[in-house]
Amino acid sequence: MPGARKHVTLIPNEWSVGKLVTMTTTHAAEAPPPDAPDGLQEHFDATIARDQRIEPRDWMPEGYRKTLIRQIAQHAHSEIIGMQPEGEWITRAPSLRRKAILFAKVQDEAGHGLYLYSAAETLGADRDDLTRRLIEGRQKYSSIFNYPTLSFADVGVIGWFVDGAAICNQVPLCRSSYGPYARAMVRICKEESFHQRQGYELLMTMMRGTDAQREMVQDAVDRWWWPSLMMFGPPDDASPNSARSMAWKIKRHSNDELRRRFVDMTVPQAEKLGVTLPDPQLRWNEESGHHDFGTPDWDELMRVIKGDGPCNDRRMERRRTAHEEGAWVREAATAHAAKQAARAEKGAAA
Ligand SMILES: [Fe+2]
Ligand SMILES: [Fe+2]
């Protein structure tokens, strides 16, 4: 491609794990319970102010605990439901190599879900209860996974856009104030960056192929671009919980900041790839040093979040069936653990 840059940075260096610029925020104090021993709230506030971690053994305000459980559970559910759109292509991958890569990627997402459920358990949440809430529609997962995967190019575009957006969202979470969540994020982000690279490499290969393959890539880009921008959530002025999460340093950047970061990161990658992002308003703004871009359809986002996206029913049905069909595995594992415990007790008594 004439004029194209030799290298496209998939993940900008300054956003690499552990190298983020610290954002200063003021901590909104929440009153400790009346029976809390003196100094607990002060200790919590001071820990946050020093940018140190809150650990499971530490006292924390109930609002902080609940916010984290909700966020971590939603994140865990997204990883697990997110296995479905791409998982549907494992049996139809065009080569053994692509099948092995896709298999590994989908398995990674299952692993991410499990780390995150474990992180939620350190806050006193019960994994069964979280799964029940998901299945009963009382807890959400990312809106992006309610869109269909129509061709194998979608696998590449999901890796590039969806894992790319996940990286933008999650790298700052490596410095989240809650220790187990932050530590889970470090490992997850390393794997997400592999996911993004494999997606981009797949698309590069397709773009070097036939006209039909290039059309498949452009079609997938056209369908996934706007839903990917919606992954960052509603605009800041319509995101009431964000300010509190930022004060608690659970969240480090606003939805709009992260969305802009994603656009800035993705535009040169699209140029290098040779695809057009479907936004006539997209252009570089010399003055702001960022790209200007159009507004996602927020009504569509609300509809999808409320359950009326193209694949919500299918995703939930599949998750429910998998849970029911897996009941015997959970029962067997529980029986095995009980047997081992009884044996260990017997051995200790002998
Ligand atoms: Fe993931
Ligand atoms: Fe991923």
Q: How far is the CA of 121 from the centre of ligand 1 (A)?
A: 19
Q: How far is the CA of 191 from the centre of ligand 2 (A)?
A: 7
Predicted confidence band at 237 (pLDDT cuts at 50, 70, 90)? confident
pLDDT digits 0-9 by tens, 307-318: 999 999 999 999
Q: How far is the CA of 167 from the centre of ligand 2 (A)?
A: 9
Predicted confidence band at 242 (pLDDT cuts at 50, 70, 90)? confident
Residue-averaged pLDDT of the chain: 89
pLDDT digits 0-9 by tens, 176-188: 999 999 999 999 9
The strand pair at 290-292 and 283-285 is best described as antiparallel
User: Of the bound ligands, which one is closest to the alpha carbon of residue 159?
Assistant: 2
Q: 291: which strand partners?
A: 284
Nearest to 233 by CA among 172, 173, 288, 166: 166
User: Of the bound ligands, which one is closest to the alpha carbon of residue 184?
Assistant: 1
The answer, yes or no, to whether residue 101 has pLDDT greater than 70, is: yes
Q: How far is the CA of 115 from the centre of ligand 2 (A)?
A: 13
- More confident site: 159 or 41: 159
In our burial notation (b when 16+ CB lie closer than 10 A, e otherwise), range 236-263 reads eeebeebebbbbbbbbbbbbbebbbbbb
Predicted TM-score (pTM) of this structure: 0.86
- More confident site: 156 or 240: 156
pLDDT digits 0-9 by tens, 46-88: 999 998 999 999 999 999 999 999 999 999 999 999 999 999 9
